[in-house]
Chain A
Amino acid sequence: MQPTPAAPVIEFRNVSYQVAGTHVLRNLTLQVQPGEILALLGRSGSGKTTTLKLVNRLLSPTSGEVLVNGVPNVNADITRLRRSIGYVIQEVGLFPHFNVARNIGLVPKIEGWPEARVRARVEELLQMAGLALELASRYPHQLSGGQRQRVGVARALAADPEILLMDEPFGALDPLTRDELQREFISLQRRLRKTVVFVTHDLREAMRLGSRIALMEAGKLVTILSPDEFLRSADPWAAAYVKAFGDRLESTATEGKS
């Protein structure tokens, strides 16, 4: 099902999520447009990861509904839904007993693609993720942190999902590797035009990658702004973020937009 240009790919309608009586998320209403990168920015415990997991139903809302391509995601077949959404997490979560090729090719394989096509797709993805082909036979523990995260991204893209969910994908990397991966991700996204939602607590990363930034605090959406608007925002939370990250944010604000 192809969304019409104006229709949001992901839509939260008044979504709340409680666990053991505590509101993790309160009355969230939010739309993600096709091809955009929405950065969910906030502190630990602000509800950003919860928001992400509500999209692919790793969690289910206590009230309200989440629509994916116009359909409430509770109505979708959960396996189909998840396979149509790429998912990348900070810890990467590569299968330690599978080599790189099997990690990347797992979803295509269980989707029943013929072996030759899986192999071709794996090679294509390795290239796309900037990984040498000979890494295909390596095991995750033989890779560097940056390589692992690249494999994680390649694996998420394997079945060519329209949506990509990323939970602090570059958070655990050293600054140089992070910079490199962010840069490559931007150019990759220019080509692929996925609808991306990513979680970060790093304003610089949010400004660099995001076409819009959704600022969250204590389970509530504070505001959604473009990176430029965010810098000038009078909102106290946004201003606090800008202040905390200090100078040289201006320069990062321009890169992510395409």
Chain B
Amino acid sequence: MNVFRFILQNRSQVLELTGEHLWLVGLSTLFATLIGIPLGIVIAHWPRLNKPVLAGANIIQTVPSLALFGFLLPVPWLGDRADRLAILALTLYALLPIIRNTYTGIRGVDPAVMEAGRGMGLTESQLLLQVELPLAVSVILSGVRTAVVISVGLATIAAAIGAGGLGEFIFRGLAMVDNRVILAGAVPAAILALLADVGVGWLERRLQPR
């Protein structure tokens, strides 16, 4: 098929853009995880914060991605480099599933287990690290998994602000009205999403408590 011939012929560029794509998705997922998991833990323990935090993350989610990229463009340090901006936007989008799943996972721990642990004299941090997080880990990771898969797709739009990634091919193909070029971006992006899904899914099963 000529799409694959096109990809093969341009393999060095496909690889380069795939690398950029991975960079955008990887870094934003890392940041979202570093912010989202602690936030999820906090709202699971202080239910009062639950509504405002989840509402905030939900609202971000409703902003169309192209608009969010545009809004962030004039921000001083961020606007200097498109990839910074793209990473920030992708991080914001990835927050909701991670926060929500961390919250759900921790709230889902059997209250009897928590009561027994507390009654035995485990400190709150011991409870968190030895009981809540290990028991919630597969739910948390399935949130990360959702976030990664969404990010891989969204990151293609980052090309619109010049942040690179596989979206370059897609936008170029759109401009050229050439399906081969579009697919040269879309197919690797789809494969990336599948691989990420399988990879995190594998991690999820490995870390699952019995």
Interface size class of A (residues with CB under 8 A): 20 to 34
> Are B210 and A141 in touch, CB under 8 angstroms?
yes
Write the chain B residue with the least CB distance to A156: B120
Query: CB < 8 Å: which of A79, A83, A93, A110 contacts B110?
Result: A93
Write the chain B residue with the least CB distance to A79: B121
B179 interface residue per 8 A CB criterion: no
Q: Which residues of A contact B209 (CB under 8 A)?
A: 96-97
> Are B119 and A87 in touch, CB under 8 angstroms?
yes
Q: Known contacts A87-B116, A96-B209, A97-B210: does B110 contact A81 (CB below 8 Å)?
A: no
A237 interface residue per 8 A CB criterion: no
- Interface size of B in residues (CB-CB distance below 8 Å): 20
Q: Which residues of B contact A85 (CB under 8 A)?
A: 119
- Shortest CB-to-CB span from B69 to chain A, Å, is 42
A139 interface residue per 8 A CB criterion: yes
Fill in one digit per residue for A141-163: 1 if any B CB lies within 8 Å of its CB, else 0.
10000000000100110000000
Fill in one digit per residue for B46-84: 1 if any A CB lies within 8 Å of its CB, else 0.
000000000000000000000000000000000000000
Q: Known contacts A93-B113, A95-B113: does B134 contact A83 (CB below 8 Å)?
A: no
Q: How far is the CA of A141 from the CA of B135 in the complex (A)?
A: 14
A56 interface residue per 8 A CB criterion: yes
B201 interface residue per 8 A CB criterion: no
Fill in one digit per residue for B121-150: 1 if any A CB lies within 8 Å of its CB, else 0.
111001000110011000000000000000
Q: How far is the CA of A82 from the CA of B134 in the complex (A)?
A: 23
Q: Which residues of A contact B116 (CB under 8 A)?
A: 87, 89, 91-94, 152
Query: CB < 8 Å: which of A94, A139, A156 contacts B113?
Result: A94
- Shortest CB-to-CB span from B14 to chain A, Å, is 43
Which residues of B in the span 174-210 have a Cβ within 8 Å of any Cβ on A?
209-210
> Are B210 and A96 in touch, CB under 8 angstroms?
yes
> Are B117 and A95 in touch, CB under 8 angstroms?
yes
- 8 A-B pairs in the complex with CB atoms less than 8 angstroms apart: A58-B119, A82-B119, A87-B119, A92-B116, A93-B116, A95-B131, A97-B135, A110-B126
Interface residues of A (CB under 8 A from B): 56, 58, 78-85, 87, 89, 91-97, 106-107, 110, 139, 141, 152, 155-156, 165
